[in-house]
A = this chain, B = another copy of it.
Amino acid sequence: MSAAAKYQEIAATLRGQIDRGELSVGDQLPTEQALQERFDASRTTVRQALKELRDAGLVQMRHGVGVFVAPPKVVRRLDSRERLSKARRNANKAAFLAEADAQGFTPSSSVKVWFEPAQDFAELFGIEEGSELCVRDRVMRADGEPVMLAVSRLPREITRGTALEEVETGPGGALARLEEQGIEITGHEEIVSARMPDANERQIFGLGGGPVLVVRRRTWSGDRVVEVNDMVMPGESYELRYAWDAV
């Protein structure tokens, strides 16, 4: 279509109703059959419009139930600078727990810890390929819903004999344990991108076929990388916040 396809007009109309609040969060949209009549369109066309809205993150389609205005982003991550600050660690707050506090969800997580040769990560850490890494693989949940996968890697030479090799890292989180050993955290870098989830991620995050946000964080002590944390979050329900002073 040159001007606008019918499915786009349907999508735009519904989008407008959502934006203007005529349909508010959690409301059920008209059934597909109702939309067919209202817009004088075939079911295929109506569904194409609804898929547009789903991909845009505006609605959820629940098989056998209906189509609903999607809830707002569930987790807004705190500003990355503040959430990893020493002040927070001294207040015994691991980053994710602090967010739960601020945003009123009940946090939980499961952790697996193992050790493996550095391999491809050797160069990143500046260590031998055969040196062991401590790998902490976590699933974070908000009110029981998985909202983040995080795989954290640290050279084992700095984790040996610490709570970092245990399931519970203790108050203040992982960085607090490093500092107790005299490893001063000096800087962080996060690289953010987006991609479609693989089958495993889709299963863990459940249903929605939307994209995931992928973040790799590197943490330095001086010019030495002490932690690499690979995080995956559903893009529909997550916002990352970064703030900085003008320089």
Residues of A within 8 A of B (CB): 5, 8, 11, 44, 52, 55-57, 73, 76-77, 79-82, 84-87, 184-199, 209-213, 235-236, 238-247
Contact = CB atoms under 8 A, between A and B. Distances in A.
Given A199-B8, A246-B84, A73 B188 contact: no
A213 B192 contact: yes
A149 to B, nearest CB: 15
**Copies held by the complex:** 2
A247 to B, nearest CB: 5
A197 to B, nearest CB: 8
Contact of A245 (B80, B187, B246): B187
9 contacts: A55-B197, A56-B195, A82-B247, A187-B243, A187-B246, A191-B239, A192-B239, A193-B240, A194-B213
Most chain B CB within 10 A, of A84, A188, A238, is at A188
A144 to B, nearest CB: 22
Give the interface SS of chain A, mostly helix, strand, loop or mixed.
Answer: mixed
Contact of A193 (B85, B86, B213): B213
Contact of A55 (B79, B184, B195): B195
A73 B44 CA distance: 33
A42 B213 CA distance: 32
Nearest to A77: B191
